[in-house]
Amino acid sequence: MRRLTRSKTERYNIPVAVLPPNPGSSHKHHRHAVYASEATGLLLIAFVLLLLTVIRYWQSIHWGLR
């Protein structure tokens, strides 16, 4: 008679208890904070690049535009 045994992957992937999602979780709030900080970082980098460009070419800017 053949003995039924589990394979290594079946033993490794044993069922794990999954908690139900909490309806009051702050997952959406956390995601918004990440997007907001990413946008803030991009704006900061753009401002620094603009500032460095203006400083670099300050002498070349036409006097009427200053």
Residue-level length of the chain: 66
pLDDT given at position 27: 59
- In angstroms, the CA 37 to CA 14 distance is 39
The pLDDT value recorded for residue 15 is 73
For residue 64, the model assigns a pLDDT of: 66
Q: Provide the CA 6 distance to its chain's centre, in angstroms.
A: 40
Residues 6+ apart with CB under 8 A from 54: 61
pLDDT of residue 8: 64
pTM of the model: 0.51
Q: Which segments of the chain have a pLDDT < 70?
A: 1-11, 13, 22-29, 63-66
Residue % of the chain over a pLDDT of 70: 58
